[in-house]
Structure 1
Amino acid sequence: MTDTLVKDAMSTPMLTLDAEATVNEASRGMLEAGIKSLVVVGEACRPEGIFTSTDVLEVAADGRPTDEATIGEYMTTPVQTVDPGASLSAVGRRMVEEEVGHLPVTDADGNGVGILTMTDLTEALSGAEVPAEST
């Protein structure tokens, strides 16, 4: 585990949308991809936030129409990111300590190249392959 790097466990490609996309668009995209989160990106694919299935529940609780509410209104910011060359064990500790379930993986220029989820981390720890719809 200590030699495993984020790039060996991250999911690619990651689903991305801009902050003006509607919650309806985001929900459909996550459902079709079988995932529970997407990365909200700005210029040059730089992560600006995370939007998750939990955020969809918040929209519903607010009584907002999903075709009017934008993901920018509900995304988690500021977004925390991780380097693809980081140690998976160190990043795993960070995710647990900071209660973060999804970390966009960024290159040296700050552009998103993948995402590391708790499911990815669990899969890497167990050595088992988890179906994509579990992430």
Structure 2
Amino acid sequence: MDDVFVAQLMTSDPKTVSPDTLVEDAANMMLEAGIGSVLVVDDDDSLEGILTTTDFVKIVAERKPKDQTPVSEYMSTDVLTTDAQEPIEQVADRLIEAGIHHLPVVGDDGVPMGIITTTDLAAYVSSVRNPSPA
């Protein structure tokens, strides 16, 4: 797996929102697209944070007026990222060590160009290995 890189498995053109997007709008976007996260970017498209389905557990639990709450209140801002040329084995290790499921792929300019998830990695592994138990 050392010769497989993030660029080969990542989802290109990730869905993005601004920090002032309402959580209800972000949730609807995620539902319509069938995705588990949106990347939060500033006016220059630089990565500011990530909002995932896990964050929505907290949103529901706190019962704030969801239609008036911006994603900036819930997004993770200490976002781990990768570049398109990182080997997937290293990415898998980083995801496990950090206990996360989504890793934005950014260019040298900090602009998101994709996202790689544990689902992407599982799909790849299942295509190269026989399922267990066989």
When normalised by structure 2's length, the TM-score is 0.91
Match of residue 79 from structure 2:
79
SS in 2 for 1:44: coil
Runs of 4+ in 1 over 6 A off after TM superposition: none
Paired with 2:44 and 2:91, the residues of 1 have a C-alpha distance of 25
Paired with 2:127 and 2:45, the residues of 1 have a C-alpha distance of 30
Contact 1:5/1:88 (CA < 8 Å) preserved in 2?
A: yes
Paired with 2:56 and 2:65, the residues of 1 have a C-alpha distance of 11
Match of residue 121 from structure 1:
121
SS in 2 for 1:45: coil
Paired with 1:45 and 1:80, the residues of 2 have a C-alpha distance of 17
Structure 2 residue ranges without an equivalent (≥5):
129-134
Structure 1 position 42 matched with structure 2 position 42: yes
Match of residue 132 from structure 1:
none
Q: Note the 1:1-135 alignment, pairs <5 A.
A: 1-127=1-127
Paired with 1:38 and 1:114, the residues of 2 have a C-alpha distance of 11
Paired with 1:11 and 1:93, the residues of 2 have a C-alpha distance of 19
Paired with 1:59 and 1:98, the residues of 2 have a C-alpha distance of 22
Give the % identical residues: 38
Larger radius of gyration: 2
Structure 1 residue ranges without an equivalent (≥5):
129-135
Paired with 2:124 and 2:89, the residues of 1 have a C-alpha distance of 10
Paired with 1:90 and 1:97, the residues of 2 have a C-alpha distance of 10
CA RMSD in angstroms comes to 1.2
Paired with 2:11 and 2:50, the residues of 1 have a C-alpha distance of 15
Counterpart residue identity of residue 54, structure 1: T
Paired with 2:103 and 2:36, the residues of 1 have a C-alpha distance of 13
Counterpart residue identity of residue 36, structure 1: G
Paired with 1:57 and 1:97, the residues of 2 have a C-alpha distance of 22
Paired with 2:62 and 2:26, the residues of 1 have a C-alpha distance of 17
Contact 1:19/1:40 (CA < 8 Å) preserved in 2?
A: yes
Paired with 1:99 and 1:11, the residues of 2 have a C-alpha distance of 20
Match of residue 131 from structure 2:
none
Paired with 1:92 and 1:64, the residues of 2 have a C-alpha distance of 35
Shift of 1:44: 2.4
